[in-house]
């Protein structure tokens, strides 16, 4: 299991922050989520996408993915890896890869 703590005090609602080359995080009204940085449709960098109402849209072909589930309306596109982050201290969130590890 890999675990890291992130200070997200400067991350606004609907903002996207790249964590590293594989993972981004976003804050929504429903919580803070990590998600795979590469789009499951055609590998675009989702750090360039945008978030509204809990949905992430890829900037390349504009497909949406629900951050709470990783699913989108197009069933032929694989699920986006997502994970709800746990707040462990004020504005400090823990990201773990235990269980549903990011591909
Ligand atoms: S690469 Fe993301 S929607 Fe096509």
Q: How is the chain split into domains, by residue range?
A: 2-97
- pLDDT at position 98 is 66
Which residue's CA is the closest to the ligand 1 atom numbered 1? 42
Look up the pTM and report it.
Answer: 0.93
Confidence of residue 101 (pLDDT cuts 50, 70, 90): low
Architecture of domain 2-97: 3-layer Sandwich (2.102)
Centroid of ligand 1 to alpha carbon of 38 (angstroms): 9
Residue 23 has pLDDT above 70, yes or no: yes
The candidate with the shortest Cα–Cα distance to 9, out of 30, 27, 36, 22, is: 27
- pLDDT at position 100 is 64
**Per-residue tokens: 74:** 């197009």
């Amino acid at each position: 299991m890999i675990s890291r703590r992130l200070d997200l005090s400067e991350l606004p609602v609907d903002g996207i922050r790249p964590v590293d080359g594989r993972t981004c995080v976003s804050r929504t009204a429903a919580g803070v989520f990590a998600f795979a940085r590469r789009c499951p449709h055609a590998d675009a960098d989702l750090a360039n996408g945008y978030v509204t109402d809990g949905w992430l849209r890829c900037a390349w072909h504009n497909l949406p993915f629900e951050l709470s589930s990783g699913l989108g309306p197009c069933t032929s596109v694989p699920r986006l890896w997502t994970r709800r982050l746990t707040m462990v201290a004020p504005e400090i969130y823990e990201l773990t890869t235990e269980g549903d590890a990011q591909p």
